[in-house]
Structure 1
Amino acid sequence: ENGRIPKVPIFLDSPLAINLTKIYKNYFTDKRYFNKEAFEATKKDEAIFDFPGLKMILSHSQSEEIDKIKESKVIIAGAGMSQGGRIVRHEYHFLPDSNSAILFVGYQIKGSLGRKILDGEKTVKIFGEEIPVRARKEFISGYSAHADQNMLLNWLRPMRITLKKIFLVQGEEEQMLPLAQKIRDELAIEVAIPSLNEEFML
């Protein structure tokens, strides 16, 4: 709308995102579910879930056709840290292209394909092939829905009387170790950080 990007087709290549958008559309006139700005936009009959050039991609065959388009385009696809989903095929096709760019909007865990790309590896393995990474890489951190350390502590605080043990199982060790210590110090709850295949008696 503001002309900040060229007029190119924008493909939403994520059936889950498309289905979630349908749910939002069903409730977009209910001000309980939207902030004031979004609700005011709906009253002006502005299409907050649609814009010129947006194409919703549902089928695999439609998704595959995107990769054949030579002209400039934007592809929005669920990442799953590039471990699965349609994004992997798009990366296979466009990572070798120095005229392409990949924008990560979520955390990429160590060892994931997404993290390898973001960390600047020159080649990555996709579909059993070594693929050169020539595309520009960018990262935006503000889209993560994960709680930070203080949010997790505040969430746990009301449960500290009844909780006997907490298992930290998702995250990088250098982040989990200080969190575990804070939980022990501030909430007096036992914390375990299991290693792969470690077993516990519950």
Structure 2
Amino acid sequence: MKIKFIGAAGTVTGSKTLIETNGIRILIDCGLFQGLKSLREFNWEPLPVLADTIDYVLLTHGHLDHCGWLPRLVSQGFQGKIYCTGPTMEITKLILVDSAKIQEEDAKKAIQENSSKHEIVKPLYTVEEAKKVFPLFNVVPPNVKVSVEPEIEAVFTTAGHIIGACSISLELEGKTLVFSGDLGRDNDVLLYPPVKPQNADLVFLESTYGDRLHPDNDPKTELENNINETFKKGGTVIIPSFAVERAQSIMFLLWELKKEGRIPNIPYILDSPMGIGAFEVFFNNTQWHKLSLADCQAMSKMFIINADYEETLAAITNKGAKVVIAASGMITGGRVLSYLENYIGVSETTIIIVGYQAEGTRGRKLIEGAKSIKIFGNYYKVRAKIIEINGLSAHGDQADLLNWLSELKNKPHKIFLVHGEHAAADELRIKIRENYGINCSVPLMGQEFYF
């Protein structure tokens, strides 16, 4: 068996792990690289193996950095099966179409404004190419063994993080390989805690927050305080957020605050073309989260959901106090950029960062104190107040990651630490050795291992 790391090795995005066994090739996740230009350039490169020689893709969940490269994979010849849960399939369809629309819009805008350094400006993939992925989906239920091949079986178990997200246990060649995917928090406001693995010979564990603990601060109170402070100044609160799950978690907390009379009666806007679709996923899959259908419906009524860009422009033009939740979560694209163009230079604005910000992203630059930020080829001075609320992260922290390993009945041969920057992964490696005495490796991009 050969294992090759072709994404999310030494970085947090671009998740792709290739397993080769007895002539079968299985790709665990197929994500887009985000952040640093040196990483984003990988999105334009072919895989180190021919796409048409890959037999299966197993998706842990529907975030862009885990599914966003599927249209490129299909355009380069992949015609195998894509296994995932029902909610993950629904979310992935939304994410891929939205990603393609954003890329088409950004390419069009760059051509119109002559703001690109490239001679030929084109999207990474189009909406039409994104939709060619859809016929390849095969939905699997959680906690049920799925026969991928006669001697290869997979089990998907709940991982928290976002609706439908799962860890994947893969049995082949007499070994059990466990891929954590992105692990949610044990005390998430909407989702159930991740299921801990019982047996594993090889573990592939995410390490996004491997070097830190989430603060004990109450994120609900932090939201309340920042919204009220901004309201008193007549300003706008902008919350960059992933449109699926993180947005719903924030909306849930805002809904509770509004019911309790703790935040003002101003417009609360979800500005995302995916907003309506994401709500439908929540409505249709209540067994995957803690909210009842009645709660989902009541919560959604509090918010103005902008689907069309004309509605976005109208919200931007209205300078009155408001709270806007807009994608993308790391401010790498999407509607949030239009808001920042108009509001980041206004001192009364508050920008609340609620999730992990990968190296090289605008969100990372903002929390590191950038004085100016580049949007669509132009630089804007940062006069807005930048707040980070770590308590709203969808990723488990170091304690959650260590706890996820606590029920293993055997000592794995090796744990590979992926989906983390080097410092975070290495800190987690040390903690795992101290707590469990298990041999850990932090693989490099392109590195291969044989078992």
- CA shift at 1:198, angstroms? 4.4
1:9 — aligned with what?
267
2:272, 2:398 → 1: CA distance? Answer: 30
1:191 — aligned with what?
440
Indicate the percent of aligned positions where both proteins have the same amino acid: 35
2:306 — aligned with what?
57
Alignment of 1:76-91 (within 5 A): 76-91=325-340
SS in 2 for 1:47: helix
- CA shift at 1:49, angstroms? 3.0
1:134 — aligned with what?
383
Matched positions, count = 191
Cα gap change, 1:164 to 1:91, in 2 (>3 Å): farther
Alignment of 1:73-152 (within 5 A): 73-152=322-401
Q: Which whole-Å deviations, capped at 9, do the CAs of 1:109-146 have from their partners, x for residues lacking one?
A: 34321121122211111212111101111122221121
1:3, 1:150 → 2: CA distance? Answer: 34
Q: Does 1:177 align with 2:426?
A: yes
Q: Is the strand fraction higher in 1 or 2?
A: 2
Q: Which whole-Å deviations, capped at 9, do the CAs of 1:8-32 have from their partners, x for residues lacking one?
A: 222101233432323434567x8x9
1:16, 1:193 → 2: CA distance? Answer: 35
1:73, 1:9 → 2: CA distance? Answer: 5
- CA shift at 1:33, angstroms? 4.8
Equivalent residues of 1:160, 1:189 under 8 A apart: no
* Pairing partner for 1:24 from 275, 282, 290: 282
1:27, 1:79 → 2: CA distance? Answer: 23
Q: Match of 1:22, as an amino acid?
A: E
SS in 1 for 2:301: coil
Cα gap change, 1:188 to 1:27, in 2 (>3 Å): closer
Q: Does 1:48 align with 2:325?
A: no
Q: Which whole-Å deviations, capped at 9, do the CAs of 1:35-79 have from their partners, x for residues lacking one?
A: xxx66x949xx923322xx21112233333322223222211133
1:82, 1:95 → 2: CA distance? Answer: 12
- CA shift at 1:148, angstroms? 2.0
- Unmatched 5+ residue regions in structure 2? 1-257
SS in 2 for 1:15: coil
User: Higher relative CO (CA 8 A, sep ≥ 6), structure 1 or 2?
Assistant: 2
Equivalent residues of 2:345, 2:384 under 8 A apart: yes
Equivalent residues of 1:96, 1:131 under 8 A apart: yes
Q: Match of 2:280, as an amino acid?
A: K
Equivalent residues of 2:275, 2:305 under 8 A apart: no
SS in 2 for 1:181: helix
SS in 1 for 2:427: helix
- CA shift at 1:93, angstroms? 2.0
1:27, 1:200 → 2: CA distance? Answer: 38
SS in 1 for 2:365: helix
Equivalent residues of 2:412, 2:438 under 8 A apart: yes
- Unmatched 5+ residue regions in structure 1? none
SS in 1 for 2:320: coil
2:289, 2:421 → 1: CA distance? Answer: 34
Equivalent residues of 2:417, 2:443 under 8 A apart: yes
Q: Match of 2:384, as an amino acid?
A: A
Cα gap change, 1:159 to 1:64, in 2 (>3 Å): farther
Stretch of structure 1 that moved more, 72-81 or 168-177: 168-177
1:193, 1:117 → 2: CA distance? Answer: 28
- CA shift at 1:200, angstroms? 2.2
Cα gap change, 1:65 to 1:153, in 2 (>3 Å): same
1:18, 1:162 → 2: CA distance? Answer: 45
CA RMSD of aligned residues (A): 3.0
Equivalent residues of 1:180, 1:191 under 8 A apart: yes
Stretch of structure 1 that moved more, 153-162 or 92-101: 153-162
Equivalent residues of 2:275, 2:307 under 8 A apart: no
Equivalent residues of 2:373, 2:379 under 8 A apart: yes
Q: Match of 2:439, as an amino acid?
A: E
